[in-house]
Structure 1
Amino acid sequence: MYKSQFVSLDDKPCDTKCLLCDCIFVLPTNETDLLTHLFKVHRLVIADVWKIANLRSYVHYWSTKFKEAPLMTYCSTLLMDCTPDGQPSKNEHYFLLSDCLSEDKTLRDEIHRAKLEWTLAQQEAERADITFKRGCIFCRTEICGSRAVYIKHLYQKHNLYLGKPENLVFVDELLDKIQNNIESLICIYCEGTFKDRMVLKEHMRKKFHKSINPHNKAYDKFYINNYLEPEKTWERKQANLKTKPDIGGGSENEDEESSWSDWNDESVTITCLFCNYSNNEFTCILRHMKEAHSFDFEETVKDLTFYQKVKVVNYIKRQIQLQRCIFCETKSDNVLEHMKNQQHCKIATQKVWDQPEYYFPMSENDSFLYNLDATSNSDEESDVENLTEAMCNL
């Protein structure tokens, strides 16, 4: 079980005392009220609040520090020509708490790291759970086994696309939210309300609204990439997806086929880690890498856990993209030729590639990674231990 020095890393509403007085605010529900209070009562502004992974932990830390020393010790002083209520007044003093202060930046980084680690642990627990059981939102078929099977059922049987299962976290809460909307006759994409279930169903079918609203930030917590870097939100990644359906035109069938065909294994094209060669068969890709690049992937990863294999793949792709040798990390205009001449068609020592940054794929739809389970020799327990150990070394 993951443990952290920070308080309440989850998003459950919790009473939180102001940094500078005894006023209580429920966070994250009443975050705006707290920030308004800090500005109007204490003339304190927290910079880039949206980048703070857990405001409760941040507030708890600084409330302790401000008991030991005044605001001026840690905050920048600003002069403004108005009072907090907007009345004109010369040289009014305000305080800015930001990551320009090294202690604040370190705190933000540590909270972000702890939140990421905690979320990954939650995701892995869901991934390892084989006791999942839930009735379908639409047809009430009972799905047993794993959450990934349920997500796939929603797409294949009802054309409802929530994203790749491996990109989701807090899946039960996400499904509850979607089910509540459907039962309340609310479209999950445009969030309009309809008079009955049949009208809602027809609307979602005709408008191709069978995906969640990318502008609703309430969904951000369910997508793992949002925990990697605060500024890289799920909405921005969705906007960049080449396969995003065109809501305004084209036939429904064409959109569905081009956008979600990666759910069907036979249509997924897998690309070599070193060049542009691609094939629908993973075994053909492995054979190609062995023959064309002298790289035996199966032999390289045979004793590794699932997450270590993921990191090896992402490390190799990153190095090749940067034109760096995967063994000695030398930069070269023709890195493949360098690797061949130097007999460097092998990965570097484990301490080089076994880093948390390589948990995350280079692209949203990396078909190579989807085939790792087929060659995995590690069990879920060892994966969890490896994940926890690696993240603790961040």
Structure 2
Amino acid sequence: MVDDEDDDWSDWQAHPVCAVCLFCEQQSETMDKIYTHMQNVHGFDLHGLRTELNLKFYQQVKLVNYIRREIHQCRCYGCQERFVSKAEALRHIMDSGHVMKLPQISTWDQPQYFFPTYENDALLCGLPDSDSDSEGTAPRSGGDVPVFAEDMTNLRVLKQTSVLNQLLKNRGSYN
């Protein structure tokens, strides 16, 4: 007997997303609002960087984690200058125009930045994943890769002359 009570999800409610700005304590329940906030208040355009640098999904993750970690450690992510407080680092980033200045990609595109600075960082969960993100994955639509039928015309000849078949024949002669 199947218990239908376990399959009823009609009363389930998703917890609202609470994404936190990369630069301040501003929080938003939608990703669009936090992206707009970062662009309007701080001059940081994550979507623009994604497009300009052609960032794949995991590169975006590493970039966000890199920026969060640098700011958390009171360091400018653009020039790596260290400060006494997070507020001083942020003031430097804004005043010096380093908001959109990133170091070389080799600085932040490192495996260590796969790990988030903050637990359950909703900003990471909301990063866009495009169809061009094929790092180590198969194409998403079957139409991208042509499939050719295997040529079976010479199968009997190939089977008789195969190395494995020769080894099996030689092995049988010794028994």
Q: Using structure 2 for the length normalisation, give the TM-score.
A: 0.64
1:358 aligns with 2:107: no
Deviation at 1:377, TM superposition (A): 2.5
* AA of the residue aligned to 1:268: V
Taking the aligned partners of 1:370 and 1:339, their CA distance within structure 2 comes to: 25
Specify which structure has the bigger relative contact order, considering alpha-carbon pairs within 8 angstroms and separated by 6 or more residues. Answer: 2
Residue in structure 2 matched with residue 281 of structure 1 by the alignment: 30
Asked if the contact 1:289/1:296 (under 8 Å) is kept, the reply is yes
Trace 1:56-135 onto structure 2 (pairs within 5 A).
none
Taking the aligned partners of 1:383 and 1:309, their CA distance within structure 2 comes to: 16
Taking the aligned partners of 1:291 and 1:377, their CA distance within structure 2 comes to: 24
The one-character-per-residue Cα deviations of 1:12-70 (angstroms, maximum 9, x if unpaired) are xxxxxxxxxxxxxxxxxxxxxxxxxxxxxxxxxxxxxxxxxxxxxxxxxxxxxxxxxxx
Deviation at 1:376, TM superposition (A): 2.6
**Among residues 298, 302, 312, which one is paired with 2:63 in the alignment?**
312
Asked if the contact 1:305/1:383 (under 8 Å) is kept, the reply is no
SS at match of 2:81: coil
Taking the aligned partners of 1:325 and 1:268, their CA distance within structure 2 comes to: 28
Trace 1:125-164 onto structure 2 (pairs within 5 A).
157=9
Trace 1:149-188 onto structure 2 (pairs within 5 A).
157=9
Query: Whose Rg is larger?
Result: 2
Residue in structure 2 matched with residue 340 of structure 1 by the alignment: 94
Taking the aligned partners of 2:63 and 2:136, their CA distance within structure 1 comes to: 14
The 3 A distance-change label for structure 1 pair 306 and 321 is same
Taking the aligned partners of 1:330 and 1:295, their CA distance within structure 2 comes to: 19
* AA of the residue aligned to 1:364: E
Residue in structure 1 matched with residue 21 of structure 2 by the alignment: 272
Taking the aligned partners of 2:26 and 2:19, their CA distance within structure 1 comes to: 9
* AA of the residue aligned to 2:70: Q
Aligned Cα RMSD in Å?
Answer: 2.7
Query: Any stretches of 5+ residues in structure 1 without a counterpart?
Result: 1-137, 141-152, 158-256, 386-394
Taking the aligned partners of 1:139 and 1:381, their CA distance within structure 2 comes to: 40
Deviation at 1:379, TM superposition (A): 3.6
The 3 A distance-change label for structure 1 pair 378 and 314 is farther
The 3 A distance-change label for structure 1 pair 341 and 377 is same
Taking the aligned partners of 1:359 and 1:312, their CA distance within structure 2 comes to: 9
Asked if the contact 1:271/1:368 (under 8 Å) is kept, the reply is yes
Residue in structure 2 matched with residue 246 of structure 1 by the alignment: none
Deviation at 1:380, TM superposition (A): 4.6
The one-character-per-residue Cα deviations of 1:90-140 (angstroms, maximum 9, x if unpaired) are xxxxxxxxxxxxxxxxxxxxxxxxxxxxxxxxxxxxxxxxxxxxxxxx869
Q: Which runs of 4+ in 1 moved over 6 A?
A: none
Trace 1:190-269 onto structure 2 (pairs within 5 A).
264=14, 267-269=16-18
Taking the aligned partners of 1:331 and 1:367, their CA distance within structure 2 comes to: 27
**Among residues 357, 367, 389, which one is paired with 2:122 in the alignment?**
367
* AA of the residue aligned to 2:124: L
Taking the aligned partners of 2:34 and 2:59, their CA distance within structure 1 comes to: 20
The 3 A distance-change label for structure 1 pair 139 and 304 is farther
Asked if the contact 1:339/1:345 (under 8 Å) is kept, the reply is yes
Taking the aligned partners of 2:133 and 2:67, their CA distance within structure 1 comes to: 24
Residue in structure 2 matched with residue 331 of structure 1 by the alignment: 82
Asked if the contact 1:312/1:354 (under 8 Å) is kept, the reply is yes
Name the structure where strand makes up a greater proportion of residues.
1
1:349 aligns with 2:100: no
Residue in structure 1 matched with residue 142 of structure 2 by the alignment: none
The total of aligned residue pairs comes to 128
1:297 aligns with 2:46: yes
Residue in structure 2 matched with residue 7 of structure 1 by the alignment: none
The 3 A distance-change label for structure 1 pair 281 and 381 is same
Trace 1:35-50 onto structure 2 (pairs within 5 A).
none
SS at match of 1:382: coil
Asked if the contact 1:306/1:378 (under 8 Å) is kept, the reply is no
The 3 A distance-change label for structure 1 pair 338 and 380 is closer
The 3 A distance-change label for structure 1 pair 383 and 300 is farther
